[in-house]
Amino acid sequence: MLGFRKNKFRFVILIISIVLQLSILKAELFFKPFNVSYDHRALIIDGNRRMLISAGFHYPRATPEMWPDLIAKIKEGGADVVQSYAFWNGHEPVRGQYNFEGRYDIVKFVKLVGMSGLYFHLRIGPYVCAEWNFGGFPVWLRDIPGIEFRTDNKPFKEEMQRFVEKMVNLMRQELLFSWQGGPIILLQIENEYGNIESSYGQSGKDYAMWAASMAYGLGAGVPWVMCKQTDAPEYILDACNGYYCDGFKPNSYNKPTLWTEEWNGWYTSWGERVPHRPAEDIAFAVARFFQRGGSYQNYYMYFGGTNFGRTAGGPFYITSYDYDAPLDEYGLLSQPKWGHLKDLHAALKLCEPALVAVDDSPQYIKLGPKQEAHVYRTEIVCSAFLANIDEHNTASVRFLGRVYSLPPWSVSILPNCSDVAYNTAKVRTQISVKTQEFGSPSSYMTEPRILQVEEVVPTISKTWMTLEDPVGAWSENNFTVQGILEHLNVTKDTSDYLWLITRIQISEEEMSFLEANEDSFTPTLIIESMRDVVQIFLNGQFAGSAVGRWVRVVQPLHFVQGYNELAILSETVGLQNYGAFLEKDGAGFRGQIKLTGLKTEEIDLSTSLWTYQVGLKGEFMKVYSPDQHKFANWVHLSPDKLPSMLTWYKVLNFLLLMECFNQDSMLRILQK
């Protein structure tokens, strides 16, 4: 009897265990499994045509702690889909060594999207552009023998296919495709390749067709997209990117009209003004897209976020990727943009039954010289869009027996073909006013970021401490070779900084000549071509700097008699992220480095012995780390002492690195 009770108890425990496992499994099934297909009118989700609003949100540009709140705000704003790239250089920083943790935990991110009831559009690329360092390519990719990026090149295609397969298999393994009960309804291969395809001739065309075939052959079970690819094959959806896509038509009648990037803002470059696009114009562009037959539209970006660490592309894109998006860099509502677009989405949802019911083009009605209507009508439903594309004048139009006043450059949405539910030019959302107190706590700003100096309030009544970084070689891990080495070949993406140090001897005779002819002869260092930033030091003292992309540098120098140490700090500020032949761009110096203006003939320093030191000492000591900064030899900042050219600053829980060049300053916030 006792044995029976024990067995019964074990059986009950087993049943409970199975039930728990099934409940956990069910929790992973965010939706009842459904198929995704399409016809000429729209994407078909679980057998039903859908009009879809998508929100661009790149998971590495926020911390995981921010993800749930941002996703909730995206859903509240009326979106159906979250769209993101996959970032190859973040997921495979070292060849064969993958990273899917922290900000790169893409599985967690996609699951959070699914848990919210939203769909997901994964743009694998793996070239992404995105103002992201090296366009998303890992720097080690350029070191593979014989490689040429984004063309019919075997080494590149092998590496690209390996990563794409990795991502597709990961999503399948985690049950994240729609047919598995997951949120992923769309994938993307390549990115805006049509912009540069002609640069590669026939090899470009062959590569584009290979990429499409390779992706489709992976059997992901959801449609693939190629944006800005007018020669996309029949089995791949082609899509529009731009500020306005209402005139876009896919390259086949059998494909729906998709807008993968609606540029609702723009990125900010170093030293440039912050771009802004009015909410009214964004709403006009989106309404016109659906008015003229569009069915899927994505905001690039709905949340822009932050280029943490060394992820900003460029050169010279700043750390902020706010993008003037409906959700700002910190995840706050950017009003009136967020609210005005939320109202637009609500109006479009009211029209969805009519939009999906009409099989062919909507009825077009000319209402005036620059006024028109598109009507989606069946025996059951009717929705209409009235557009005034005159940028300056209000128009009064008659439609179906009623008179409507249309503001300039606007669309009125009539879900029942009678009453105006929304007009793109009439903003009902209150404008938000944001203030920021410097030093206020922020739970998610935990990684290095670059700020323009204007962002930092200069009058801070707190105790500052400093740590000067040494000029030149600072560790035993330096080496000396003859000649100038290419920057990236030396740093191997471990740092943006590379020191080059050499010695120049000035004889007594040479020194006497220079002193006697100082008005006529000035020793000058000439660097034929460099990118992005160079800082020049002579005998430990700052001599000058230059900023630019492959620019010539001419820097006068003042020598002393005897040996002089010339130290040059080469810096990258975001690797090129757009264009053809990215692998050929490189960094550092090109051409000759020489010294002119001496009594003797010019000296070709390109053939001299140079000592190379990768990185800054504070960088490799990780003085910005919460665990390491306390071990550095910090000193209190003296108000009457001028800082050196490379100085780390710390005040309470802030840590900064200041670099000065060309009368400008760059601050890198390393810890907050």
Asked, as a colleague might, if the bond just before 315 is cis with ω within 30 of 0, I would say: yes
Phi (first) and psi of residue 162, to 5 degrees: -60, -45
Contact indicator for 210, 147 with CB cutoff of 8 Å: no
| Dihedral angle, C-alpha 226, 232, 236, 241, nearest 10 ° | 30
The DSSP symbol for 521 reads -
159-182 CB burial, b ≥16 within 10 A, e <16: bbbebbebbbebbbebbbbbbbbb
Please name which of 184, 190, 239, 241 lies closest in space to residue 212, comparing C-alpha atoms: 190
- Cα–Cα distance between 455 and 3 in angstroms, integer? 74
For 281, the enclosing helix (H) or strand (E) is helix 279-291
Angle at 553 between CA 551 and CA 554, to 5 degrees: 150
Angle at 644 between CA 639 and CA 648, to 5 degrees: 80
- Cα–Cα distance between 195 and 132 in angstroms, integer? 18
Q: Is 280 a catalytic residue?
A: no
- Cα–Cα distance between 495 and 504 in angstroms, integer? 27
- Cα–Cα distance between 344 and 421 in angstroms, integer? 9
Measured CA distances, 420 to 383, 399, 402, 637, 660 (Å)? 10, 12, 11, 63, 56
Residue 205: CB atoms within 10 A of its CB come to 15
Contact indicator for 65, 443 with CB cutoff of 8 Å: yes
Amino acid 306 reads T
Name the active-site residue from 131, 192, 280, 571.
192
Q: For the residues of 305-347, what is the DSSP string, one character each?
A: -B--TT-B-BTTB-SB--TT-SB-TTS-B-TTHHHHHHHHHHH
- Cα–Cα distance between 227 and 301 in angstroms, integer? 16
Task: Kindly report the length of the chain.
Answer: 672
Q: Is 528 a catalytic residue?
A: no
The DSSP symbol for 152 reads S
Name the active-site residue from 92, 261, 447, 619.
261
Q: Which residues are catalytic, by number?
A: 192, 261
